[in-house]
Amino acid sequence: MTAPLDDEVADLRRANAELQRRLNEALAERDESLQRETATTEVLRVINSSPGDLTPVFEAMLEKATRLCEASFGIMNTYDGKHFRAGAAHHVPAALVEWSERNPVQFGPGTGPARIVGGENLVHTVDLTATEAYQRGDPSRRALVDLGGARSHLIAALRKDGALLGTIGVYRQEVQPFSDKQVALLENFAAQAVIAMENARLITETREALEQQTATAEVLQVINSSPGDLMPVFDAMLDRAMRLCGAAFGELAIIEGGQPRTVTTRGVPAAFAKFRSRYRASPLPGSITARVFAGEPVIHTIDAADSDLYREGEPHRRAMVDLGGARTSLAVTLMKDRDVLGAIHVYRQEVRPFTEKQIALLQNFAAQAVIAMENARLLNEIRQRQAELRVTFDNMVDGVAMFDGELRLAAWNRNFQELFDLADDFLAERRGFDEHVRYLTERGEFGETTPRPKSVA
């Protein structure tokens, strides 16, 4: 009787152990699921609290991806269509960080980023030292393994509508493949990163559009409030153009007597400004000034130091780079019909091309400058003709007055005022013809009579 009982007890113990194992697995899976949901919620909270700012989003996302995937460190990169740029890093070994700062980011064939660029959405490498890229001595793969200690890695692509926006990768310092759940988790973080990047792009575009509209409205307001006075217009225009284009310094010049004259500047380095004040040589062919005079609408110089004019030692280009620190510049010509009126020129002190939107913005300011200059010209002509008419009026022997289409006093000469002995205040109110007749009648200018209202057809 003892043996069967012992067998039953053993079976119960095995069943209990199996039940406990399954319970532990269920609890572990529940905890993992809870951790994943908590991490996702926390990342979404960071996204909502940092609209347009991707740095805290990337940092929070990478920290959680590294921890939940049981990795030693993590790296996020963004991609602009040509180059990868650092987006965030978490617990990356110092030796690898130092190497990355001293060497350009280049990924040879077979490396994770290169495979992502080639169209793969997920790269899972169990042993990096066993890869062809490591064995042939690819610099980035060697640095990742030898300096960063990485052995296993998992990289997911950040894509929107097929376009590559970046990568998120986690690295282990031991040979240990990532589980299916960890792969799915990293892909989920990649999807969240794409959403965050798209939100940031839309917010940035909206903010930039609003800033541009505001700047345009402000310049138009200055134009309206300063009729005929171009300096406040040019100052406001250059100030906003520099700010919205992210430029270090700038200038606005107009053509007078066939020569350019700088009318306003912002932030020009003192050494470059001093050189400019003394430099009188004619612009050489191919220079920015020569191209402006030729009527070229937009002159976008990506790297002023990487140009024939700089290498050949052209004085103005040398001063622009060596004294002004300028590297990337953008000049937009002010033109009316085919006449060159001047140019707006903004400079950056680093090699960073201006965007299409920034170029369009500067072109818009250039168009506004041309309108302001034309308005000022027409206003000055009107004022000159008014002055000439005033001289003519004042030298007439007879008293002369002019009434507009609504029969209100528009102009008069001194003889008219003196003839009827009219006060300055009375004339300044620009009264109607009827009011003048009534006023003169009441004063007895037409004898003893009572004026009668009369409508004028």
User: Dihedrals φ, ψ of 29, to 5°?
Assistant: -65, -40
Q: Among 370, 404, 422, where does a domain finish?
A: 370
Residues 54 and 190 in one domain: yes
Residues 233 and 334 in one domain: yes
Among 387, 317, 380, 61, smallest CA distance to 194 is for 61
CA dihedral 178, 179, 180, 186 (to 10 degrees): -50
Give the DSSP H or E segment for 213.
helix 180-225
What integer pLDDT is reported at residue 51 of this predicted model? 64
Tens-digit pLDDT profile for residues 126-156: 999 999 999 999 999 999 999 999 999 999 9
For the chain, percent of residues with pLDDT exceeding 90? 46
DSSP tag of 336 = E
Residues 59 and 134 in one domain: yes
Q: Looking at the domain assignment, is residue 382 inside a domain?
A: no
Q: Looking at the domain assignment, is residue 159 inside a domain?
A: yes
Residues 184 and 38 in one domain: yes
What are the strands, taking DSSP E only, across 64-211?
A: 73-79, 84-90, 122-125, 152-160, 163-172
Q: Looking at the domain assignment, is residue 390 inside a domain?
A: no
Residues 194 and 232 in one domain: no
Close Cβ partners of 78 (under 8 Å, ≥ 6 residues apart)? 84, 85, 87, 165, 166, 197
**Contact in structure between 131 and 101 (CB atoms under 8 Å):** no
The CATH number assigned to the domain holding 293 equals 3.30.450.40
Q: Which residue has the higher pLDDT, 257 or 182?
A: 182
Residues 147 and 236 in one domain: no
* Cβ count near 175 (within 10 Å): 13
- Cα 408 from chain centre: 52
Residues 276 and 192 in one domain: no
Tens-digit pLDDT profile for residues 288-312: 999 999 999 999 999 999 999 999 9
Which residue is associated with the tokens 């495979």? 115
Residues 324 and 287 in one domain: yes
Answer positive or negative: Cα dihedral of 350, 356, 359, 361: negative
Tens-digit pLDDT profile for residues 386-445: 676 667 766 776 777 778 878 888 777 777 777 778 888 888 787 888 887 888 788 777
**Residue 432, SS3?**
strand
**Residue 363, SS3?**
helix
Q: Looking at the domain assignment, is residue 146 inside a domain?
A: yes
* Cβ count near 361 (within 10 Å): 22
Residues 45 and 169 in one domain: yes
- Cα 50 from chain centre: 19
Residues 264 and 199 in one domain: no
Q: How far is it, in rounded angstroms, from Cα 358 to Cα 333?
A: 15
Residues 180 and 254 in one domain: no
**Residue 207, SS3?**
helix
Inform me whether the pLDDT recorded for 238 exceeds 80. Answer: yes
Per residue, the 3-state secondary structure of 118-145, as one string, reads: CCCCEEEECCHHHCHHHHCCCHHHHHHH
Q: What stretches of 246-352 show up as alpha helix (H) in DSSP?
A: 270-278, 288-293, 308-311, 315-322
Q: Among 328, 354, 370, where does a domain finish?
A: 370
Q: Looking at the domain assignment, is residue 385 inside a domain?
A: no
Q: Looking at the domain assignment, is residue 450 inside a domain?
A: no
CA dihedral 100, 105, 109, 113 (to 10 degrees): 90
Number of independent structural domains in the chain: 3
Q: Looking at the domain assignment, is residue 2 inside a domain?
A: no
Structural domain including 300 reads: 226-370
Q: Which residue has the higher pLDDT, 338 or 349?
A: 349
What integer pLDDT is reported at residue 457 of this predicted model? 41
Which tokens sit at 119?
């169209």
Residues 402 and 351 in one domain: no
Tens-digit pLDDT profile for residues 266-282: 999 999 999 988 887 78
Q: Looking at the domain assignment, is residue 85 inside a domain?
A: yes
**Contact in structure between 124 and 154 (CB atoms under 8 Å):** yes
The whole-chain average pLDDT of the chain stands at 84
Inform me whether the pLDDT recorded for 200 exceeds 60. Answer: yes
Among 268, 284, 256, smallest CA distance to 323 is for 268
Among 172, 73, 175, 186, smallest CA distance to 122 is for 186
